[in-house]
Amino acid sequence: MSPTRPARAGRPGPATARTPVAPRRRRIPRAWVPNQHGAWAMVVTPPLVGALVAGPRPVHLLLLVAWLAAYCTYFAATQWLRSGRRARYRTPVLGYAAATAVLGVPLLALHPALLRWAPVYALLLAASLRYAARRADRSWANDLVTVLAAGLMTVVAAGLPGPAPSGLLPPGADDGRAWTAAAVLTAYLVGTVPYVKSLIRERGEARTRRISTGYHAALLAVATLLAVTGAVPAPGGAGLAVVAAALLARAVVVPRRGRPSPAAIGAGEVVATVAVTVATLLAV
């Protein structure tokens, strides 16, 4: 008997077994999915807290969904600008922009006074997109711009159900409780900028760790002063101080341990954000 001849390429011979090939999973293109895990907590929390401060209404859900669509549009636009306006990123920009318009039009029809916030957000958006066009969207300055935009949503959401203030003030701008909540959330979110950088992009840099530690130490000092003087009565003042102490401990310890994954860092931010949210609601 003659030996079995080897199979030709692409054609199985007698001695070749067919190996079943698992079907490929269809994945959502990366251009459509924001990959900044901790950003979701930053995006969702301010409008949620604002709604709770004002008293949640069905329209707050519409605001939240429209805000999420706007965030996805913003993320896709930054990727498009960073890439040099490649065509593959254009479709997500247009798709998310359409979704934002579909959700935003009825929201503005119900509460046209929300347009008074448009100049503020237009300036913040223009500044952030300029950083993206220069491939500096991960810079400290741009991070602070996005934090400010997110924090302001606390006031926007708080002013949504009530009548608009007289004059040119946008809804919520005359609500002291909303501004207090926005200040607490924004102060926390500003601290996440050096903290996250000390874990990822600027890991191992002593200067970044010092900035993160110093900032969180200052937060603890302010929170303790507010609690001790009664400026924020118990249990709100005590809650802010306890959370600030935990954030300081995290800023000191975590950067000096291992190398956490971005997903783990994002999960940690979600836990911290929940704690800050509870303390904020107790404080206002």
Model pLDDT, residue 24: 53
At 25 the pLDDT is 52
Q: With contact defined as beta carbons under 8 Å apart, do 40 and 271 qualify?
A: no
DSSP 37: T
Would you kindly state where each structural domain of the chain is located, as residue ranges? 36-162+171-283
Find tokens 């970044």 and name the residue.
Answer: 208
Rounded to two decimals, what is the model's pTM? 0.86
Can you give 82-137 as a three-state secondary structure string?
A: HCCCCHHHHHHHHHHHHHHHHHHHHHHHHCHHHHHHHHHHHHHHHHHHHHHHCCCC
Q: In the chain, where does DSSP find H-type helix?
A: 39-54, 58-82, 90-110, 118-133, 140-158, 176-199, 206-229, 236-253, 262-283
pLDDT tens, the chain, 284 aa long:
444 444 444 444 444 445 555 545 545 566 677 767 668 889 999 999 999 999 999 999 999 999 999 999 999 999 999 888 998 889 999 999 999 999 999 999 999 999 999 999 999 999 999 999 999 988 999 999 999 999 999 999 999 987 777 778 899 999 999 999 999 999 999 999 999 999 998 998 999 999 999 999 999 999 999 999 999 998 999 999 999 999 999 999 999 987 888 888 888 898 999 999 999 999 99
